[in-house]
Amino acid sequence: MSGSAEERLGALDAALDAVQPDAAVAADLFAVVDALDAQPALRRALTDPSTPEDARASIARSLFESRIGAGALELLSAAVRLRWAGGRTFASALERQAIRAQLRSVGPAGLEETEDELFRFGRLVESDSDLRAALGDRSVPLTRRQQLVADLLSGKANDATVALARRAVAGRERTFANTLAGYLSLAAAERSRLLATVRVARPLEPGQLERLQQALSRQAGREISVQVIVDPEVLGGVRVELGDEVIEGTVAARLDQARRLFE
């Protein structure tokens, strides 16, 4: 990501923080994103660099003032004043803020719960090939696939988890799994943490998990949120995915390294 792109996202983060985001703001921003996704002409009008900032903001207000609340409108107005690489980049940036608003809606106490529920639901989908195929089948209307998610999570997860899991079915990052992974990273970031996915052959004891988390935090220089996946194929040891970095400490990895020596 370029420095200018980071600055734009940072500016929107600050704008969202200023409007005290909640579930209503999230719903409004998601509605704006849906409108942008459905109307290329609207995306172009709100991101056209040849149109002055104030004019773009005026267009946004005239179109959405009667349809969304003041908080979401304020964020949208701030967003259209920035220069974007294209309409889809703009829509993705707004969706990022909608996700953050949804995560904020549960408060600090519910944020860890939401992250854990999203992770566990993602693992459920990943382990069930029929469910994974059903959620990814774009010949089935999106609303039906989203209702399937809502039915599966009914009474088992909080409102933010259900809303975000439903949203992930659209697969903005190509697949449900990739999109959900992005949500989990944002959830960890909301708690000022990095997200680490740890694959082990058998469940970790509480003491083992705590020591691993402390070691990873020292290595990364900041707090780490750890999500554990029990994977029999690990063959002992641990495999850690921390951002783009992969730390291999498994028997399988060592065997593979040894085998390559004789190729």
> Within this chain, do residues 179 and 221 fall inside the same structural domain, yes or no?
no
Contact in structure between 170 and 36 (CB atoms under 8 Å): no
Instruction: Grade residue 110 by pLDDT with cuts at 50, 70 and 90.
Output: very high
> Within this chain, do residues 99 and 19 fall inside the same structural domain, yes or no?
yes
Instruction: Grade residue 30 by pLDDT with cuts at 50, 70 and 90.
Output: very high
Weakest mean pLDDT among 100-114, 174-188, 232-246:
232-246
> Within this chain, do residues 174 and 214 fall inside the same structural domain, yes or no?
no
Dump pLDDT digits (tens) for 56-82: 999 999 999 999 999 999 999 999 999
In residues, how long is the chain? 263
Write down which residue in 145, 172, 190 finishes a domain.
190
Contact in structure between 236 and 225 (CB atoms under 8 Å): no
Total number of domains in the chain: 3
> Within this chain, do residues 215 and 236 fall inside the same structural domain, yes or no?
yes
**Domain membership of residue 216 as a residue range:** 194-260
Dump pLDDT digits (tens) for 178-215: 999 999 999 999 988 888 888 888 888 888 888 888 88
Report whether pLDDT(174) > 60: yes
Report whether pLDDT(10) > 80: yes
Dump pLDDT digits (tens) for 31-56: 999 999 999 999 999 999 999 999 99
Report whether pLDDT(106) > 90: yes
Dump pLDDT digits (tens) for 123-173: 999 999 999 999 999 999 999 999 999 999 999 999 999 999 999 999 888
Q: Which residues on neighbouring strands pair with residue 15, listed in sequence order?
A: none
Q: CA 29 from chain center: how many Å?
A: 15
In angstroms, rounded to a whole number, what is the distance separating the alpha carbons of residues 167 and 179?
9
pLDDT at residue 246, as a whole number: 76
pLDDT at residue 229, as a whole number: 83
> Within this chain, do residues 177 and 112 fall inside the same structural domain, yes or no?
yes
> Within this chain, do residues 83 and 66 fall inside the same structural domain, yes or no?
yes
> Within this chain, do residues 93 and 155 fall inside the same structural domain, yes or no?
no
> Within this chain, do residues 18 and 91 fall inside the same structural domain, yes or no?
yes
In angstroms, rounded to a whole number, what is the distance separating the alpha carbons of residues 19 and 141?
34
DSSP string over 51-98: S-HHHHHHHHHHHHTTTS-HHHHHHHHHHHTS--S-HHHHHHHHHHHH
Contact in structure between 22 and 107 (CB atoms under 8 Å): no
Give Cβ neighbours of residue 7 (< 8 Å, ≥ 6 apart).
none
Write down which residue in 59, 85, 104 finishes a domain.
104
